[in-house]
Each structure stands twice: as C-alpha cells, then as structure tokens.
Amino acid sequence: MSDLLKGRLKDQLKDRLKGRREEHLEARARDLDTADGLAGHREKFALDADTVYLDGNSLGALPAHVPARMADVITREWGELRIRSWDESGWWTAPERIGERIAPIVGAGPGQVVVGDSTSVNVFKALVAAARLAGDGRDEILVDASTFPTDGYIAESAARMTGHRIVPLDPAAMAEAAGPRTAAALVNHVDYRSGRLHDLPGITAALRAAGALAVWDLCHSAGALPVGLDAHGVDLAVGCTYKYLNGGPGSPAYLYVAERHQAAFDSPLPGWNSHADPFAMTPGYEAAAGAVRGRVGTPDILSMLALEAALDVWDGVAVEDVRAKSLALTDFFLECVRAYAPEGRVASVTPEAHGERGSQVALRCAEAPAVMAELIRRGVVGDLRRPDVLRFGFTPLYVGFADAERAARVLAEVLADVPAGAPAE
C-alpha cells in the first residue's frame, strides 16, 4: 500500500471518529437540555436562535418583558404623572424595595441591601466605611492583587483619604496575612479574568478573627452561585446588576451593609437621600437608620425600574439550582473543547474543581483577539481579555447545553482556520 493511500485512509478514519464524537456530544447536549429544569426560562429573554450568547458575565441578555414595562414608566409614570410618581409610583422607595428583591439572591436578610449608584461608587463607600469602622491602630487595607482594575484604583483613593496603606495579596494569602494592623480587605468573589472562585467563608472568618472587616465584590458571582452573605458573616459587599442579574447596561449597583454595622456605618458620601429627614433640607447631616444610609443622591429611576422589572425572571428560581446547572454547563463545555479543539491551541485557566470555579470558562489562546473576532462573526459571542484570554460566561437561566456544544465546535473550526501566530484584525 502506498504512503499516499495510507495517508488518505488515516484521514478518513480521523474524520469518521471526529464525526462520531460530534454526534455523541450533540446527542448528550440534547438529552441534558431535555432534563434541564431551568430550560423554560430561556423564553423569558430576547434571544435569537442564530446566536450563542456567552457574554452574560459582561452584559446580561434583555428579559423580554422589560421594554413594555419601560414604555409604561416613560409614557405614564413620567409623561402623565410626572412629579407625582415619586409617591404614587413608588419611585422614592425603589432603592430599598429593589434591594429587598436582590437580598435573597445574595443570601441577605431584610433591610441590608440598598440599590443605587455604580459599583465603583459603592466600593468607595464600603471601603472607606470599613476603614472607619475598624478603628484606630489599624492602618492597612488588604486588596486582591488580581482585582478588577477599578477596585484597585478606588482602594488606593480610599487609602489616601483614610491614611491607610494598601497591601496587595493573592486572596489565598489573606487569611494568614490578616493581623492587628489590618483594617479591612477588598476581595473579588470570582476573578473577572480567570473565573476562579475565592473562598468567601474562609477568608471572611479569618479576617473577622483578626478584628478586620471583609468587603466583597460580587459582580461575577451574584446570580450565578450562592453567596451567603449573612450565613458567612460578611461585613460589607457590593455588586453590579447588569451581568447575571440582567438589569441592562449601566444598571445601578447595590450595597450590602450587615445589620450589626448599620448604626456605625459612616459613608464618605453623605447625601440628601441618605438623610434621616431628606426634605427638611437642614444644613447639618443626620444619617438615616439602616441600609438607607448607603444612599447618596437622587436615584436613577429609569435604569432602576428596568432592573426591577428584569428581576422578575428570578421569581420561583432557587440560586442553588442555578449553581448546579452552571457547573454542569461549564463541565460540559470544557469536555467539548477538549474533544474538538486542535491540540495545543487553547488551555483552560479556569479551575477544574467545582469549589474554585465561578460561572465562566477562560481559555488561554495565543491568537485570542483574532479568534474571538471570528467567533463573533460566526455567531458565538464571548469576550476577550488582552492579551490572550478568551472568556465565555454561562448564564444558566438562558444558556443551554446545545449552546455549549455548538460554541466548542465553532471554536474548533475557527482555530483550524486561524493560523497560529495570527495577529488581531
């Protein structure tokens, strides 16, 4: 038999095995979707069948009923009732009311979550307040060394304001590093780049044992996995609402202030909306009781009410079920990537262990910019973290197992078409 014929037979065998492998994984995806108790929630979102949307860890999909709600807010509440809507439409109480709806998703009891401002503003409030709560003699703030950049910028500013110094650390080292000089630690629950889930219960317990406060950034965990703020004794927490909570671009963030800290919570941004008697317009500031003292200025009503409507998709949903599906989805996607992708072209930087994984998969790929651009052109929407990380976020309320299989298959096709060393377009 000639070498040419041998080569052809070998290629035919490889193609046959590849086809069988794809058929097996496609069939498994169908079976998993059929058994998925959350599959019916997908129809609540404005999604098209031609796109696999795996960027909910940056911007969640639009819940389909939100536009009608916003049309009513704009035409009736604003257009007809106008100023009366502050009372008659409940605008004034929206920050606390919506906070109560987010609270169960993050494991908080009543009266501890208030919605408003951006994540950055709330990080600033929480970190300065934590430094003040810690008291004299504690002059250091531990900061997740791999934190989302803004958190680091805010921490530096908070440290300058309060006379503290910043100590950047891997979160795994914080438990041992916390000591009598530690005022607080700012930690990301899930690393935005790698998808690593940090040990919230263990780090929080170690910080509290050292007399320090734990401030957690929940942007990449809330709505994807149980957080347990009350159960684990977290002091302060912040998070955005436009990722897994699907509140829309720039939707307001939230601030959690544990009940035991509320009376002494000293916000660096006191505003008329957090005053004990806002309409008295007195020159002296007296903070309102409870988490309301985390408010600042006039709430951003349009985006806030869009968020309130978006949270309807959580009615009857247990976050534990969301977590179970998230892990199953990311497991299956990684299995498909290993089966389909050309050897050596991508490597996961997301931990395999369930206890260390959020709801995203990050793949290191030397040609990441070119690969992601082509993936998006072919209907698989993830995102990129330069220079070489492909990120795929799995939102269990609307992403299915067929989506995961298709994304991995298209990724393999793109890797076959994009040559090694290809520059970004």
| Phi and psi, residue 268, nearest 5° | -75, -5
What is the DSSP code (8-state) at residue 277?
S
Average pLDDT of the residues in 172-186 = 97
- What digits encode the pLDDT tens for the residues 249-283? 999 999 999 999 999 999 999 999 999 999 999 99
Token pair 């700012």 is found at: 186
Report the candidate in 338, 246, 274 with the shortest Cα–Cα distance to residue 117.
274
Annotation says 148 is catalytic: yes
And the tokens for 400? 């299915």
Q: 16-45+317-417: which CATH topology?
A: Aspartate Aminotransferase, domain 1 (3.90.1150)
- What digits encode the pLDDT tens for the residues 198-221? 999 999 999 999 999 999 999 999
Of 42, 243, 295, 325, the catalytic one is 243
For residues 1 and 289, which has the higher predicted lDDT (pLDDT)? 289
Annotation says 242 is catalytic: yes
Q: How crowded is the C-beta side of 363, counted as CA atoms within 13 Å?
A: 29
Q: Which of the four pLDDT bands, split at 50, 70 and 90, describes residue 425?
A: low
Average pLDDT of the residues in 395-415 = 98
Annotated binding-site residue? 150: yes
Architecture field, domain 66-314: 3-Layer(aba) Sandwich (3.40)
Q: How far apart are CA 350 and CA 231, in angstroms?
A: 26
Q: Quick check: 16 pLDDT over 60? A: no
Q: How far apart are CA 390 and CA 367, in angstroms?
A: 9
Annotated binding-site residue? 321: no
Annotation says 279 is catalytic: no
Give the model's pLDDT for residue 11.
56
CA 32 to chain centre: 25
Q: Is 401 helix (H, G, I), strand (E, B) or coil?
A: helix
Please report which helix (H) or strand (E) contains residue 19, including its range. helix 3-35
Give the model's pLDDT for residue 21.
82
Mean pLDDT of the chain: 95
Give the model's pLDDT for residue 392.
98
Annotated binding-site residue? 162: no
Q: Which residues contact 261 (CB under 8 A, 6 or more apart)?
A: 129, 133, 213, 235, 236
Helices 401-417 and 368-377 cross at an angle (nearest 10°) of 120
What is the DSSP code (8-state) at residue 75?
I
Give the model's pLDDT for residue 7.
56
Q: Quick check: 12 pLDDT over 60? A: no
- Domain segments of the chain as ranges: 16-45+317-417, 66-314
Q: Which of the four pLDDT bands, split at 50, 70 and 90, describes residue 22?
A: confident
Token pair 């040990």 is found at: 199
Determine the straight-line distance between the first and last CA of the chain, rounded to whole angstroms: 45
And the tokens for 175? 């438990």
Give the model's pLDDT for residue 59.
98
Sheet holding 347-348, edge to edge: 347-348, 360-364, 389-393, 383-385
Average pLDDT of the residues in 410-420 = 95
Annotated binding-site residue? 148: yes
CB–CB of 295/96 below 8 Å? no
Q: Which of the four pLDDT bands, split at 50, 70 and 90, describes residue 10?
A: low
Of 391, 392, 403, 406, the catalytic one is 391
CB–CB of 143/186 below 8 Å? yes
Of 36, 144, 199, 217, the catalytic one is 217
- Total count of residues recorded for the chain: 425
Q: How far apart are CA 404 and CA 53, in angstroms?
A: 10
Report the candidate in 198, 180, 187, 200 with the shortest Cα–Cα distance to residue 140.
180
Whether residue 387 is preceded by a cis peptide bond, meaning omega within 30 degrees of 0, is: yes
Please report which helix (H) or strand (E) contains residue 113, including its range. strand 113-115
Report the candidate in 423, 412, 398, 405 with the shortest Cα–Cα distance to residue 340.
412
Of 45, 124, 192, 242, the catalytic one is 242
- Residue 52's DSSP bridge partners are 380
Q: Judge whether 16-45+317-417 and 66-314 match in fold.
A: no
Average pLDDT of the residues in 216-235 = 98
Token pair 């996607």 is found at: 333
What is the DSSP code (8-state) at residue 76?
I
Token pair 């819940």 is found at: 63
Q: Is 71 helix (H, G, I), strand (E, B) or coil?
A: helix
Annotation says 243 is catalytic: yes
Q: Which of the four pLDDT bands, split at 50, 70 and 90, describes residue 419?
A: confident
- What digits encode the pLDDT tens for the residues 105-138? 999 999 999 999 999 999 999 999 999 999 889 9
H helices within 341-425, ranges in order?
368-377, 401-417
Q: Which of the four pLDDT bands, split at 50, 70 and 90, describes residue 420?
A: confident
Annotation says 340 is catalytic: no
Q: Quick check: 339 pLDDT over 60? A: yes
- Percentage with pLDDT > 90 across the chain: 93
Q: How far apart are CA 158 and CA 134, in angstroms?
A: 14
Q: Quick check: 44 pLDDT over 60? A: yes
Q: Is the dihedral of CA 118, 101, 275, 185 positive or negative?
A: negative
